[in-house]
Chain A
Amino acid sequence: MKDLFQGYKGKALETLKKYNVRVWGKANIKTTRGTFNGTILPRSENDDDQHIVLKIETGYNIGINVGTISDMKETGYKKANYKVPEKEFPYTEGQPQVKLFGTGGTIASRLDYRTGAVIPAFSPGELYGSVPELADICNLSTEKVFAVFSENMGPKQYIALAIAIGKEIENGIDGIIIAHGTDTLHHTAAALTYMVQNPPVPIVLVGSQRSSDRPSSDAALNLMHSAVAAGHGDIAEVMVCMFGPTSDEYGFLHRGTRVRKMHSSYRSTFRTLGDTPIATVTQKGVKPIKKVYNHRRKDRNVKILPYFEEKVSILYYYPNMQPDIIDALVACGYKGIIIAGTGLGHVNKPVYPALKKAIEKGVHIFMTVQTLWGYVNMFVYDTGRDLMALGVVPLDNMLPEAAYIKLGWTLGQTNDRQKVIEIMQTSINDEITKREPYNGYLVYQGGVPEVEQFVKNFRK
């Protein structure tokens, strides 16, 4: 019964019931503002109960205030069928076998009347139906591992993915794509870098900044780029594949530990920090930027290390931070804390005692920088030396998010202080780099003539 009035509640629901008109019913509505004709649409649960949504004949939607309705008649009924056309993904002899794991997110999404926003949707047929070009790149099989928005991805999902990847590699797959929401794409990329070590094939995480229900979505091109990287690329690492520029031009392949989402809505939001991306990718192929990377191999010698301790936190330092925050984390049973400190890796003096107490209780505390670029260096100032003396361990140029994920993964394996420090400080795949190249930090500012010239001529 409830389904007849999808999303309606309160007064609006009463009105529909009173006049016996259903969602998807064609209705003639008399109101104090005149007569309206159209099809009743479902309403978002979060919207008010004062209005009924109507699709009028010209295809537009309007809302009618139920308070103005004097009469209403259902004159017909036609339920819409919003479904991406499903077509069986064709197999082409000689093309690489690529597996696509679906986790949800904008790359595969459709309209959701419950929230009025978009929800994840995914099937190989749907994918092929909307991006048929994929069939020219590889033989694709898909598996829906879960359907969650990226902010709902967590340790459970990292572990499930790592194990699924391990199985696929064992079964001889040529490359793996993981379709993922973009918000925490870099967290997952870091987690998989630690959990899936020494992979013989590319593992490519991909998302989109504009959902695939939009004509100018970046989803299709990102998917094609990731299929090229996974099926044909030589780089056998965990990578993020997203738009290079905001234009439909080329994608970047970013190392999973050095990448970060840097803009809330830009298509070219993912950037490699403190280094260059590993490669660019177009439909024609992968073009390495970095000379050193792990090459594709024939063997299947991958190490799957699916561990994670959930009681880990990240603390973004701000002036006047009170020590009770740290006390509270300890009291709540947190086993590890990553601090994103100011400058070279600092916090203020009043929290020192709290940090000392925490470390004495066995909490593992590491320092990263909230400047994102550059190294922690705790020798430059006394404050840094004091912190180290307390037992806070610097993590060089590891990004705070990459450090957080790594600490969770490390503490999932051991609680031994020396071992934890050793694992944290030993780079698995460039989460710490020994040097920052000069072109690893390029945040240009507009307004400068030569930058404007560059933007006009090259940045698309």
Chain B
Amino acid sequence: MSSKFDPQKNYQQTKKQVGYMERQQTAPEDYRRIGFMSGLEVHQQLDTKEKLFCHCPSGVFHRNEAYNAEVIRHMRPAMSELGGYDGTALMEFKTRKNIIYHINNETACTYEVDDTPPFKINPEALGHALKISLLCNLNIVGEVHITRKQYLDGSIPTGFQRTAILGVNGHIQLSNKKVNLIQLSIEEDSCREIADIAHNRWYKTDRLGMPLIETVTAPELMTPNELKEAAEYIRYLNRSTGLVRTGMGAGREDVNVSCKGGSRVEIKGVAHNKWIPELSHNEVFRQWALLHIRQLLKERFQKEEWKMQFQQLDLLEYHFSYQPLLDCRKKEHQIVAINLPGCKGILSHFTQPGQMFADEISQRLKVIACIELPNLLHSEQFENIVSKNDFDKIRSKFKASETDAQFIIWGAVNDIQTAIEIIEERFKMIFDGVPNETRKSLANGTTIFERVLPGADRMYPDTDSAPIPLSDEYINTLQANLPEETYKRISLLKEWETPIDSHTFILSKNLFPVIQEIIERFQYNPKRISTIFGHTYKHIVGQYKVRSEFNYRKLIALFHFIHEQELHPNIAPYLLPILYQHPSMDFASMLTSLKFKKRSMTELIAPIDFLIEKFREIRKTDDPKDAANWIMGQLHHQAIGNIELSDLRKNVDKRVL
């Protein structure tokens, strides 16, 4: 039986056993069955002039190679306020990374590299963040306490992020349910990673220290689509204030997912909300698969009984042809084989589309032991990289049984030692279920291991800064200047009969207040105006590059002009592209460039008789509708900005039909 073991077949079979299905085929009942549960941490950069704790400019970015100096640091775990060490911190220490920061003098000062203590918190950022907290119906704290949150991956040179809670216990209103918010914090953004190769990781410090808020929902989102709706809602809410940054990386989501019997796993830094459903779908099934693996292994062993064996391989004894193995001699790297008792069928067990359990190990080796990919060969690979003979020889050395599986790993001596520990640790974790992890999202909707999930045991009061009291007067002033709540905006859009496909654009670009002002001030038809913005304007934005002089007040001014000149608003779609491309041009000149002339209905319909005659000469059909259409086409351009086209049509129809 064993000789016929087919890893590909095993992969497909375990995929079926787990019950994996495509997201489109998955019904809410299916998610309920496997206990899909998720919550969000939505990160949003605030639009401020300066960074959060120093006076460097915020929002200025550099190319990787544009730097003036570099600083090297190493991180060591430090104890939390409650006297514990954090698991992630200890993991990061194991990696022994050299962290190299690239510093550009324009965007980073000595604060960013932790050579100067923090300056007072940026009041502009604090005000922005509090406004958003109020919109989230959060209970605002009486005093803001800056806390240090340890991050040993090097993404912040201090080794911790300065962060502070502004409010707790809020909620947002989705279409079908109310979702609770746990908290909202203000924090400094981290470095941008340039590269991570073996024991070196490079960061640039331009983004570091920019003010950011994090909105955390309760784990109450029960399907991937609901999760996405919540993410969109929070994004609209943040943008409704006009106080946040937009563009690449300005908003990022961490998605927490678990299944019944699983664990909280955090998918980090999801840049696009549209990725959320697929990522969370695959994650919940990955957890479901890991629980299946646990069941398989538990049927064979007790956790305490399971023990793996390893031994170093001598290149000369084998006939390897795989280049990375052959290179080990030159690099003085070790090659180690590991025997995994009773693990046949586990390595090629399905975890995610395109990934099997062995990949979970390989990813941990890359991150924790710093061994670059490819870093693992095993007995259940789809393609035979190591010959059957060589594997048989390895198996006989271990006196392995038919039900065992084997790994081959290679790398520097120190790293291999760490690698062996990691493999043993991960296999033992199978018995406990799903490890708490943070995972990196890939564009195809799957994830890879990023690090061990940190807990609350990494918090420490920031001894460099004093608490900041928030008086009632201050909160009241902020409260007085808030936009309406986002769910009210959504219901107004529906009331206006705004096309549903344009809601996202209007809310995410915060065009709602623009449309509302135009409708209210000039008494235009809401459906017409919101459609102009949801369709025409969206098309323009997609088509042309925005000019720095352009702003939303100019959009309102355009409609003010149309109203004042007693033009018909159907000219707006023709003026908008001109305004967008030439924001400094005066409106009268725009009209001229359209060759616009004021005409009354009488003037416009005067040539109809002539046109009827003309159509008779060139006609191809006798259908009077074709005649009407043709005449409309002739008059259309002159009518725009003067009258409602449907009124003109009525007049034409009257004469032709």
Contacts and interface: CB of A to CB of B under 8 A. Distances in A.
B140 interface: yes
B657 to A, nearest CB: 67
Contact of A216 (B80, B89, B114, B459): B114
Interface stretch (A49-57, A180-188, A327-335): A49-57
A47 B216 CA distance: 29
A442 interface: no
B167 to A, nearest CB: 8
**What secondary structure prevails in chain B residues at the interface with A?**
loop
Contacts, number: 174
Interface stretch (B27-35, B54-62, B191-199, B461-469): B461-469
Contacts of A35: 139, 169
A132 B391 CA distance: 41
B157 interface: yes
Contact of A63 (B69, B141, B182): B141
Contacts of B165: 56, 58, 60-62
B159 A215 contact: yes
B530 interface: no
Most buried by B among A59, A65, A266: A59
Nearest to A64: B142
Interface stretch (B70-78, B273-281, B294-302, B493-501): B70-78
B141 A246 contact: no
Contacts of A63: 141-145, 467, 469
B82 interface: yes
B427 interface: no
A211 B78 CA distance: 10
Contacts of A210: 114
A116 B139 CA distance: 25
Given A35-B169, A210-B114, A456-B67, A220 B76 contact: yes
Contacts of B461: 61, 111, 116
A34 interface: yes
A267 interface: yes
A453 B577 CA distance: 47
Contact of A48 (B74, B160, B459, B469): B469
B168 A62 contact: yes
B139 A53 contact: no
A63 B143 CA distance: 4
Contacts of A117: 463
A215 B76 contact: yes
Nearest to B454: A59
B163 interface: yes
A249 interface: yes
Contacts of B216: 58
A213 B464 CA distance: 12
Interface string B236-280: 000000000000000000000000000000000000000000000
Given A51-B469, A217-B78, A456-B68, A60 B142 contact: no
Interface string B450-465: 0000011111110100
Given A247-B71, A456-B67, A217 B76 contact: yes
B159 A214 contact: yes
Interface string A211-243: 111111100110000000000000000000000
A248 B169 contact: no
A265 interface: yes
Most buried by A among B76, B142, B157, B460: B142
Given A116-B463, A246-B113, A58 B183 contact: yes
Contacts of B74: 216, 221, 248
Nearest to B101: A247
A294 B79 CA distance: 41
Contacts of A298: none
Contacts of B455: 59
Interface in B63-95: 67-83, 89
Given A60-B165, A63-B469, A216 B460 contact: no
A111 B463 contact: yes
A49 B82 CA distance: 24
A64 B139 CA distance: 11
A111 B460 contact: yes
B73 A59 contact: no
**What secondary structure prevails in chain A residues at the interface with B?**
loop
Contacts of A53: 143, 145, 467
Contacts of A444: none
A26 B437 CA distance: 29
Interface in A2-58: 31, 33-36, 47-48, 50-51, 53, 55-58
Interface string A295-312: 000000000000000000
A460 interface: yes
Contact of B78 (A47, A50, A83, A212): A212
Contact of B77 (A51, A80, A215, A263): A215
A82 interface: yes
A455 interface: yes
Contacts of B151: 215
Interface string B574-597: 000000000000000000000000
A84 interface: yes
B136 to A, nearest CB: 12
Interface in A82-103: 82-84
Interface string A198-214: 00000000000111111
Contacts of A267: 115
A452 interface: yes
B110 interface: yes
A386 to B, nearest CB: 43
A390 interface: no
A33 B72 contact: no
Contacts of B467: 47, 51, 53, 63
B73 A248 contact: yes
B231 interface: no
B164 interface: yes
B145 A82 contact: no
Given A51-B143, A215-B159, A265-B115, A249 B72 contact: yes
Interface in B158-175: 158-160, 163-165, 168-169
Contacts of B607: none
Contact of A214 (B78, B82, B113): B78
10 contacts: A47-B466, A51-B469, A59-B459, A83-B83, A116-B461, A211-B463, A215-B151, A215-B160, A265-B110, A455-B68
Top 5 nearest A-B pairs by Cβ distance? A63-B143, A215-B159, A34-B139, A65-B142, A59-B456
Interface of B: 67-83, 89, 105, 110, 113-117, 138-145, 147-152, 157-160, 163-165, 168-169, 182-183, 185, 216, 455-461, 463, 466-467, 469
